[in-house]
Amino acid sequence: MSDLSPRAIFADLALLEDGWAADVRIILRQGRISGIERDTAVRAGDERHGCVIPALGNLHSHAFQRGMAGLAERRGHSDDSFWTWREVMYRFLDRMTPDDLHAVAAMAYLEMLESGFARVGEFHYLHHAPDGRAYADPAEMSVAIARAAAETGIGLTLLPVFYAHSGFGALPPSEGQRRFLHDLDGFARLLEGAGGALAGLDEAVLGLAPHSLRAVSPEQLAALESMAGAGAGAGAGPIHIHIAEQVREVEDCLAWSGRRPVEWLLDHAAVDRRWCLVHATHMTQGEARAVARSGAVAGLCPITEANLGDGLFPAGEFLAEGGVYGIGSDSNVLIDAAEELRLLEYGQRLTRRGRNLLADAATPSTGEAVWRRALDGGGQALGAKGGLSIGLAFDALSLDLGHPSLAARGADRLLDGLVFAAGRSAVDCVWRFGAQVVSGGRHHARDGVVRRYTETLNRLIG
């Protein structure tokens, strides 16, 4: 809900699009930034905060998986892997109703906001009823996602997922995948309904997502590309795809086509700035260079990639070529924007045996470098640019400067403190489209959302 009369946030320190500024008045009108004054004085009626920074976009989420966080951390009879985790995940989603999805997604979105994400890219593939049949309204589950976004106030980029096969070569889908499936006509109807589901939300964006090269045939991929609208024209939403996350996926793709997944995609689709390649973990130097040059965003999900044993993204090669990345919370096993960024840098440190590998000469603070890059990449991938500048939605957070990990720090050192030491515990207030939804690190609707979430889980797995 946006307010009609202008109001101002006064920040002793703010991270604006062109860098840090002191004594800043950010003037808000109808959810957006209508003016920015620097080196100015606080005025009566201003809301004052010590340090205000832009909130991030979370470019990859499967909200329902929040409900199984921690439930797949026990050793099974055979070797555990991504693929055995996926079996647990398929069992978890088996009985979820639209109301269950709403309850679980609201919990996930609330935690995203509390950690400093103001928008989510929901890679949404749980479309049909438990028996695999379409609901009377094909977009019923998309409506549940939109309700969770409305309830928590998070910005939504909805990415309805097309899913048809269980492996390369158009293999028939498995029983566990029955709730995900469409033909192209059915998917067109879903997209139409999903567009309607977003109607009441501020600045919602509709894109689409072929699930993975495993789940779509080459012909279907081409059809989806044209459904997404041509080129950079009006209404052309983002296109997201899971790719090259697991070594087995690379091997299966090679066996099927003689090409590696990223290589195959770049040869068969017009990959450009509208695309987000989720994970893109297993790339050769040549592939990393080609993705960087395409302008597509690499959608990195460090916590989930660690949790699932995926491997490490080749950040060195990719960034050397000017590649753009953003971050996503994917399986939502733990929701914390700062911790995603910390793990991204730590993965590089552990394998390359160096430090401050994601910073550069222009931005020597690693905390600031990763925050700003994730802001830009997330905005690009979600079709909604972020940042504190005139005309953009006011999606921002303030830091708790009383937090011990931030003591005696200013400007970029605050971001190093947030990313490397404090994590989400140093987030104080969060605003989305001008509305304050979090104070003192707590979302305003927390009690009710947690209660309903707990009841839902007791029913689903209790």
Catalytic center residues:
279, 330
Instruction: Kindly state whether residue 179 participates in binding ligand NGQ, applying the rule CB under 6 A.
Output: no
| Block residue for tokens 């593939």 | 125
- Contacting ligand NGQ within 209-238 (CB under 6 A): 212
User: Among residues 120 and 430, whose Cβ is nearest to ligand NGQ?
Assistant: 120
Please state at what angle helix 446-461 crosses helix 98-115, rounded to 10 degrees.
130
Please state at what angle helix 98-115 crosses helix 337-352, rounded to 10 degrees.
70
Smallest distance, Å, CB 327 to ligand NGQ? 14
What does the alpha-carbon distance between residue 210 and residue 222 come to, in Å, rounded to a whole number?
Answer: 10
Which stretch, 189-197, 219-227, 323-331, 374-382, contacts Zn ion (CB under 5 A)?
323-331
Smallest distance, Å, CB 423 to Zn ion? 22
Smallest distance, Å, CB 432 to Zn ion? 23
Instruction: Kindly state whether residue 304 participates in binding ligand NGQ, applying the rule CB under 6 A.
Output: yes
Among ligand NGQ, Zn ion, none, what does residue 363 contact (CB within 5–8 Å per kind)?
none
Which stretch, 311-319, 324-332, 379-387, 443-451, contacts Zn ion (CB under 5 A)?
324-332
Q: Count of residues binding Zn ion (CB under 5 A)?
A: 1
| 396-399 and 47-54 beta bridge pairing | antiparallel
Of 324, 425, 415, 334, the residue nearest 371 (C-alpha): 415
Among ligand NGQ, Zn ion, none, what does residue 86 contact (CB within 5–8 Å per kind)?
ligand NGQ
Instruction: Kindly state whether residue 372 participates in binding ligand NGQ, applying the rule CB under 6 A.
Output: no
Residue whose C-beta lies closest to ligand NGQ = 62
Burial 348-382 (b: 16+ CB within 10 A, else e): beeeeeeeebbbeeebebbbbbbbbbbbbbbbbbb
The residue within the footprint of ligand NGQ, chosen from 25, 49, 62, 147 (CB under 6 A), is 62
Instruction: Kindly state whether residue 128 participates in binding ligand NGQ, applying the rule CB under 6 A.
Output: no
Smallest distance, Å, CB 157 to ligand NGQ? 17
Burial 202-237 (b: 16+ CB within 10 A, else e): bbbbbbbbbbbbbbbeeebbebbbeebbeeeeeeeb
Smallest distance, Å, CB 82 to Zn ion? 11
Instruction: Kindly state whether residue 152 participates in binding ligand NGQ, applying the rule CB under 6 A.
Output: no
Q: Count of residues binding ligand NGQ (CB under 6 A)?
A: 9
Of 367, 360, 345, the residue nearest 414 (C-alpha): 367
Of 260, 204, 257, 210, the residue nearest 383 (C-alpha): 204
Binding site for Zn ion (CB under 5 A): 330
Binding site for ligand NGQ (CB under 6 A): 62, 86, 212, 242, 245, 304, 308, 330-331
